Amino acid sequence: MKEYLLTAGPTPVPERVLLAMARPMLYHRAPAFTECLKEAQDGLKWLIQTKQLPMVLAGSGTVGMDAAVCNFLRTGDKAIVIRGGKFGERWGKICQAYGIECVFLDVEWGKSVDPKSVAEAIDKNPGVRAVYATASETSTATKHDLEPIAKIVKAKDDVILCVDAITAVGVYDVPMDKWGLDVVCVGSQKALMLPPGLAVVAVSEKAWKANERSNLPRFYLDLMRERKSQEKGETAFTPAVSLVVGLRESLRMLKEETLEGVFHRHERLAKATRAAGGEELLGVERVALGPSEQPVEEGRRWWAAENALDLAANLRLREGVKRDPGDPLPTQELGDERARRVLAMQLIRADREDDQESLGAQTLGQKAQEVSGGGVGQVDVLEGEEDRGAVTEVAQQGEDPAEQAGLPKAVLGDRHRRCLINDVGKGPGQVPAGFERKL
């Protein structure tokens, strides 16, 4: 069965990227790797929207965050740390590990920081040399408004803005040079569509000036040494060669899609996820509120007891689904209605030809029976114009969806096919609101 990775990161790696990484190994001091690294860096400049050289480091995104502290601050400096989630907290822990005095701006999880509070914190704390912010807080799916914060910091000659953009770059618009971001950190395992193991750090000229006064200890993460090496087309130390090859390929894919296309795709998928998680379907509560919601990973309060039941059944429907083992999921079975709703959400994801084998009608039917205790009958995956016509006829039958118990007969729409659920013994019903909408 095909496995589906549904975690905040790592994310699924496209087959095209996997095949690129499977090619014979390159020697990292040879011209072939230099060419590969240069193309990848040019692609990163395009993606991050900067004229600066993005430096590629071996390590997770946290390596980039660590480098953003030890390369730009001095013993005795203060730093403002915006904490609105787990990764905002990580900025603080890294700063404290290097002896930096932190001024914490604590934001309610799920809400974005008020830029005015950043300005006030800078003015009230002499000696502040850096502001550490998170563009997109993975733990809450919250997007922080960086542009006004960048304007505030840009007006301060001795303060730099360092941004964890690990779940932002490649998802929505984060133009480094246009906004005036000083240090931008990116990780390979998110929108770059790679396995974990690469960090990318781009540094502004203002930040390089801060680097000149920095005296914090560093060796492997010495960005000035990396800059000198990577300007010549090689890394200071042995790189993750295969990941750099994969990075080149993933950036080629993103360029083919265009920045506008990439951003639109994530926004469209985010809207579909929000709609799917609403009260009419899975009924889960959103964490990120209002304009702060990010378009990549929809934060949900899965730990609410009733909603966690839905997710538990959702995962059991597809044995190939992998989740974060840290998520607490109860094991109780669901009633017919909720089981059918969860099954519907799984079917709506079947939008590629290679899904049909792993999501065949018989397999789904069996899974539906297991979860619902026999309440869900056969599942047919319909293809072609003739089938879609038949589905349309089904959709027109029935009068009042509210009179139907659960989802006795539902048509699920996606870009490539229609999926039809028949509830044995209950006859045809009308399509629930929103189910025929294309994603």
pLDDT confidence of residue 283: 62
Would you place residue 141 in the very low, low, confident or very high pLDDT band (cuts 50, 70, 90)?
A: confident
Q: Which among 341, 311, 310, 312 has a CA at the least distance from the CA of 406?
A: 341
Count other Cβ atoms within 10 Å, centred on residue 28: 18
Phi, psi angle pair for 412, to nearest 5°: -110, 125
Note every long-range contact of 150-157, with CB atoms under 8 Å and residues 24 or more positions apart, other chains counting. 150/179, 150/180, 150/181, 151/180, 152/115, 152/118, 152/119, 152/122, 153/118, 153/122, 153/180, 153/182, 154/180, 156/122
* Residues 144 and 164 sit within 8 Å (Cβ to Cβ): no
Count other Cβ atoms within 10 Å, centred on residue 132: 27
CA 58 – CA 406 distance, rounded (Å):
50
CA 399 – CA 396 distance, rounded (Å):
8
Q: Tens digit of pLDDT for each residue in 56-113?
A: 999 999 999 999 999 999 999 999 999 999 999 999 999 999 999 999 999 999 899 9
Amino acid found at 162 = C
Would you place residue 275 in the very low, low, confident or very high pLDDT band (cuts 50, 70, 90)?
A: confident
pLDDT confidence of residue 282: 62
H or E stretch covering 104: strand 101-106
Mean pLDDT of 198-209: 98
Considering only 2-6, 117-121, 191-195, 408-412, which range has the smallest mean pLDDT?
A: 408-412
Three-state DSSP class for 201? strand
* Residues 125 and 80 sit within 8 Å (Cβ to Cβ): yes
pLDDT confidence of residue 284: 66
- Residue 337, pLDDT above cutoff 90: no
Domains within the chain, CATH numbers bracketed: 4-256 (3.40.640.10), 302-422 (no CATH)
pLDDT confidence of residue 6: 74
Burial class (CB in 10 A: 0-12, 13-18, 19+), 22: exposed
CA 284 – CA 6 distance, rounded (Å):
16
Amino acid found at 240 = A
Mean pLDDT of 249-254: 98
pLDDT confidence of residue 216: 98
pLDDT confidence of residue 309: 42
Q: Which among 11, 137, 130, 115 has a CA at the least distance from the CA of 67?
A: 130
Strand-pair partners of 5? 322
302: its two tokens: 């899965």
* Residues 296 and 336 sit within 8 Å (Cβ to Cβ): no
- In order of 83, 110, 142, 278, 327, the CA distances from 288 in angstroms are 15, 4, 5, 13, 18
Count other Cβ atoms within 10 Å, centred on residue 428: 15
pLDDT confidence of residue 66: 98
* Residues comprising the chain, all counted: 439
CA angle 334, 339, 342 (to 5 degrees): 125
CA 141 – CA 292 distance, rounded (Å):
9
Q: Tens digit of pLDDT for each residue in 358-417?
A: 434 444 444 444 433 443 333 333 333 333 333 333 333 333 332 333 333 333 333 222
Give the CA radius of gyration of the chain: 24
pLDDT confidence of residue 57: 98
* Residues 334 and 372 sit within 8 Å (Cβ to Cβ): yes
pLDDT confidence of residue 414: 31
CA 198 – CA 187 distance, rounded (Å):
6
* Residues 190 and 87 sit within 8 Å (Cβ to Cβ): no
CA 19 – CA 10 distance, rounded (Å):
18
- Residue 242, pLDDT above cutoff 90: yes
Whole-prediction pTM = 0.71
Q: Which has more confidence, 188 or 320?
A: 188
Three-state DSSP class for 284? coil
Considering only 21-35, 76-90, 226-240, 301-315, which range has the smallest mean pLDDT?
A: 301-315
Match 């028949």 to its residue by tokens. 422
Residues ≥6 apart with Cβ < 8 Å to 266: 171, 172, 191, 295, 296
Q: Which has more confidence, 75 or 292?
A: 75
- What's the whole-number average pLDDT of the chain? 75
Per DSSP, 291 falls in state: G
